Amino acid sequence: MRSGRDMARNLADATALVREAAAAGAQYVLTPEVTNIFEPDKARLKAIAQSEADDLSVKGFSELARDLGIWLHAGSLALRASSERLANRSLLFAPDGRIAARYDKIHLFDVDLPTGESHRESATFSPGGEAVTATLPFARLGLSICYDVRFPRLYNALANDGATVISVPAAFTVPTGQAHWHVLLRARAIETGSFVLSAAQGGMHECGRSTYGHSLAITPWGEVLAEALTDPQVLVVEIDPEKSAEARTRIPALLNARDFAVAGAPLKRVASIVT
């Protein structure tokens, strides 16, 4: 997608693309990070963001999932969490329209880029504190968002909780995307033996900022199964969840992981192994 500053227009654009995906046979549909609004003006974003109960996109996606009978995953929405802070929240809607899982982005992107571009997610959003997985008919899904992809421990925890497919909806900057995007996503797939699916914002947004795009579907062996560049479009792929078990058998990194100490301080694993 290439979300803009108008929530109603973004919902309409997303709805058209979701319907196109469902018509092509998709049973699970993922949208990018901040699907409902791409707004760099923090004051305006805080002023117009709605709670989960009142947000236009939450209601629209719930009805759309029910209408199409699909698992509809709003990669993330900017939602009001309190009077002072928002949540960058991923919502998974079941085919009956109910919210089957919600995940608030844990790792917030605070950075000053060499280009002069600056990002301070922590000035607007509250971080989440829990890793989340959800059971779909064809796989167990692990949820993450954008900047999370730089923190392997989260993906290890999701895989150890049974996830064989991991979502990474994103709105990556162009400089960091050019340098690291493909490498990071492939690494997370290889390390965990999981499919990695990323729907991404792409191109020049009406606010004057650009995002990297390059939506990807990656196999548990680290192969790029499909890729879309920057134009808004639907990318449909077919996955075989058994490929995750095959990859984990060939390279049993999750089973072979061991606790260890650094300078006498024990490092505890963040999740138990699920076999």
Spatial distance between the Cα atoms of 68 and 110, rounded to a whole number of angstroms: 38
From the list 39, 105, 121, 243, the catalytic residue is: 105
From the list 39, 121, 146, 243, the catalytic residue is: 146
Q: Are 205 and 2 in contact (CB under 8 A)?
A: yes
Residue 33 is among the residues annotated as catalytic for this protein = yes
Q: Which of 143, 132, 192, 195 is nearest to 169 (CA)?
A: 143
Which residues lie below 8 Å from residue 88, measured CB to CB, with a gap of 6+? 33, 34, 76, 77, 78, 104, 105, 108, 121, 125, 145
3-state DSSP call for residue 200? strand
Residue 20 is among the residues annotated as catalytic for this protein = no
From the list 33, 39, 121, 243, the catalytic residue is: 33
63-to-24, 58, 59, 70 alpha-carbon distances in Å: 19, 9, 6, 11
Q: Which residues are catalytic?
A: 33, 105, 146
